[in-house]
Structure 1
């Protein structure tokens, strides 16, 4: 990475009656804490369904020391998805500027798991989304410092469930994540066609993912993306990612990480810059005030590259005419400026003071 080549150390109101439902159904006055101090759980008795559930809440870094209102990522299968999601955020923030979120998982705790009922649109799905809308969301909004930005993630049965929510409750969540939807994703396009028979727009960010060994589901997901894009919805942002060499179980963690990266990580959009415009940047640079190390910028394969001594070169990828990033570490950005007719670089690691490199020839 560029930090190695530079040899520097860079650190890398809700309706009142809904509120009352939420408060009245909590079975304890305070949540149960985990070994991980950033997560708690609540035992919650649902009036909508008439059964008890466990609601897990994970706090983002800085929650206790700021007044920030955080977006909420709601997750089905909270009994096991919570720890995966926590680790996804932990890993991604090392490489990307990340929007932190409060993570809320809905599960069963030590009770009988009823996911095949609750997440199946043909059985308990309609009641389960009513439980989330009328009880879980108001409860979270009443207890925690959250914004109106809400996302819903589901995998397998959960992917069938989030597909249903996307089209039958299109305004409930800002983002919907559909992981390896059950029934091979055969209901994706039919659900969309039913929706667009009476609607002309869909305001949502949508991510779909699956392992490549689920061949039929992978094809249905890509066909669904193409169909959705053909509707030309102004408010729709849709992305897919097929996890290579993975089946249903092995793909789960990567699908979730791809969904979280899509929604919460700043990713640059690569643009094309003519080689003639890149040529002004080539040459030798030194760190301002420290001339012992020399860094070279050169063009190869119509791309701008950065090198130092025997280290492998790094490609500078443009996201504006004079602004670049590196796929190896999108947290860092590179900006070119001219002063007194001489070119210089500002290398800007996230949350760190920029380093200036002056062009010497």
Structure 2
């Protein structure tokens, strides 16, 4: 084979095999109120809805790539993605990816308790079953390991294959999602480097998650972690235990003064567990992606 032909074939092969040059999906013409994608996980055996929001100048015609913030429970929060609650003029361009369970009602609650909790806690399982008046062994906590694997091996690779992303990944969650985000902060090995830990349910797994986390902040003077941003928040009118645990986690992390972690926290005045959601999402974006 002549050398020019060989070079042409080699160059073509590199272009079409490189994800940077592969065909990306164009978000124009989509229905904002319908999920952009449904991903069936072979790892968790659950279906996840994907709702997305893009920077206003996002185009498949250029080579610009963007950081991504993965927002848990996206089905209930995606309405805020492009709302007046968020001042997009003050934040960097970022793709928002809402992730939620396809099922609704009690089935969604069951999936959330499983995916978002770090450890199996049978006492919590029984207490939640009694609270929601469901059959025994319906609630099974402790699926966070599998869900984090699902994010790393299925959901995030899908987004990065089809959209113009870069390796700057963040994750944010509220309530049980805040608990899972805190778990990712401590266990994701730099896979994510921006964390929005909002109204975290530290009262679940308190002794086997919160207390060891505080011990880590207290006893480890250094932390070999990539440059990381963390925002932690809660509403003033949430349960006293939720507020006090959030403050405890925040103060010990702040006191550790890790040089490679930029951390801020906030208690939103007069806000409840539900009403605080748009404010904490805006706080997450402005603290993690605020323009210099």
TM over 0.5: yes
Corresponding residue for residue 51 of structure 1: 46
Corresponding residue for residue 122 of structure 2: none
Corresponding residue for residue 42 of structure 1: 37
Pair 1:170–1:199, CA change in 2 (3 A)? farther
User: SS at 1:80's partner residue?
Assistant: helix
CA shift for structure 1 position 263: 1.3
Inter-partner Cα distance in structure 1 for 2:26 and 2:82:
22
Decide which structure has greater strand share: 1
Corresponding residue for residue 126 of structure 1: 145
Inter-partner Cα distance in structure 1 for 2:40 and 2:217:
33
- Structural RMSD (CA): 2.9
1:213 aligns with 2:232: no
Trace 1:59-138 onto structure 2 (pairs within 5 A).
59-64=54-59, 66-87=62-83, 91-94=86-89, 96=90, 98-110=91-103, 112-113=107-108, 114-122=111-119, 123-138=142-157
User: SS at 2:83's partner residue?
Assistant: helix
Trace 1:282-293 onto structure 2 (pairs within 5 A).
none
Corresponding residue for residue 154 of structure 1: 173
Corresponding residue for residue 253 of structure 1: 278
Q: For 1:237-266, what per-residue CA distance to the aligned partner results, in whole angstroms no more than 9, with x for missing partners? A: 110011101111111111111111111222
CA contact (8 A) 2:202 2:245 kept: no
CA contact (8 A) 1:32 1:41 kept: no
Corresponding residue for residue 244 of structure 1: 269
Corresponding residue for residue 213 of structure 2: 191
Counterpart among 168, 193, 198 of residue 187 in structure 2: 168
CA contact (8 A) 2:43 2:150 kept: yes
Pair 1:82–1:238, CA change in 2 (3 A)? same
Q: For 1:40-97, what per-residue CA distance to the aligned partner results, in whole angstroms no more than 9, with x for missing partners? A: 5112121111232222222221112643111001011111122223326x73135x2x
Corresponding residue for residue 254 of structure 2: 229
CA contact (8 A) 1:125 1:161 kept: yes
Normalised TM-score (structure 2):
0.72
Pair 1:183–1:236, CA change in 2 (3 A)? closer
Q: Provide the aligned length of Structure 1 versus Structure 2.
A: 236
CA contact (8 A) 2:217 2:256 kept: no
CA contact (8 A) 1:34 1:40 kept: no
Pair 1:66–1:241, CA change in 2 (3 A)? farther
1:140 aligns with 2:140: no
For CA contacts below 8 A with separation 6 or more, give which structure has more relative contact order: 2
> Which stretches in structure 2 are left out of the alignment for 5+ residues?
1-18, 20-24, 120-141
Pair 1:80–1:227, CA change in 2 (3 A)? same
Inter-partner Cα distance in structure 2 for 1:258 and 1:109:
27
Pair 1:34–1:110, CA change in 2 (3 A)? farther
CA contact (8 A) 2:217 2:253 kept: no
> Which stretches in structure 1 are left out of the alignment for 5+ residues?
1-18, 20-28, 268-361
Normalised TM-score (structure 1):
0.59
Decide which structure has greater helix share: 2
CA shift for structure 1 position 31: 9.1
CA contact (8 A) 2:221 2:258 kept: no
